[in-house]
Copies of this chain bind each other. A is one copy, B any other.
């Protein structure tokens, strides 16, 4: 029997509790819910590196993040569209978010020329020439069938003079407007604007105001975690976040360490993504309730203990630190596989703890306890 297609959910942020500026809730999307504050695993090229989609799900991850720059070059928007979109292509059942590629063009493309209407660049893979404009960027993310589409932005270099930062921000706002005009709205899908302006409070405020006047389903804060340091990042959040619309999700792009996440949630951020847990997992660095361990360290060679006794991931429940150490020393693929699995589980467990503590009105106490336990472990070693 064929069932009628389920009506797509409205894209909607449902706040369940607040604790100071911190908020806990659920983002309803066409492809299922996302509990916030949320950490999205990075799946740049349509795979969370070294993880099956099923393994990513077991970590508690509800939304993954693809990248328009990488995916437009390989396998290409049409190829993904033919396979039914990125979710079907990579077998991800929940919502996905795709970044617009602005950041990667700046950091990866061999040659790029920016003009008022977009950017022309050479692929870092084969040198082929491509063009990304707000309109083509929206079209690509439509082909990916992305649940959450990001506007095309120019990632401002850091450091930048106020004048350069202003020009760059204004270009991004123009592109945000053009992105909105080109975006094809569908029930349960969303378009997010991206606040720019470097570490300049006045520019950030103007950017917020311009984005609000265009109107988006969610607001991202871009151009941070690019070398400005945590203090400058938090100052920027302090001036930016209070001016963002209350009813829409707020996404801090590319951030960060567990400590960064606590600090940003405290300031009202709902969504995060970062390569730290996956990249660290491939380089033997483990995030645990007792701080960061480097599994290549000789002190683990004979250690029969689980990596993190508090963790219920496959690495921690079925193997010893000695085995993980051996895998990294022997350069076995299973090392990165198990440690990525663990780190993503640690991050999702961190987010679960954050959400619970906000519901209980104990976020600040919970944050302080986590930080104290991480610091104590650093000292103990």
Q: Which residues of A contact B (CB under 8 A)?
A: 45-47, 49-54, 74-75, 79, 82-83, 89-91, 301-302, 304, 314, 318-320, 322-323, 325-327, 329-330, 332-334, 336-338
Task: For A49, list chain B residues within 8 Å (CB).
Answer: 332-334
List 25 contacting pairs A-B, 8 Å CB cutoff, sorted by A: A45-B330, A47-B327, A47-B332, A49-B332, A49-B333, A51-B334, A52-B338, A53-B318, A54-B314, A54-B318, A75-B322, A75-B329, A79-B301, A79-B322, A79-B326, A83-B322, A83-B323, A89-B322, A89-B323, A89-B326, A90-B323, A91-B318, A91-B319, A333-B336, A337-B337
In whole angstroms, what is the CA distance A338 to B91 when docked?
A: 13
Q: A47-B330, A50-B337, A82-B322 are in contact. List 20 more A-B contacts (CB 8 A).
A: A45-B330, A46-B326, A47-B334, A49-B332, A49-B333, A49-B334, A51-B334, A52-B337, A52-B338, A74-B326, A75-B301, A75-B326, A75-B329, A82-B304, A83-B304, A83-B320, A83-B322, A89-B326, A90-B323, A337-B337
The smallest C-beta distance from A68 to any residue of chain B, in angstroms, reads 15
Task: For A333, list chain B residues within 8 Å (CB).
Answer: 49-50, 333, 336-337
Task: For A79, list chain B residues within 8 Å (CB).
Answer: 301-302, 322, 326
Task: For A334, list chain B residues within 8 Å (CB).
Answer: 47, 49-52
Copies assembled:
2
Pick the contact of A330 from B74, B326, B332 — CB < 8 Å? Answer: B74
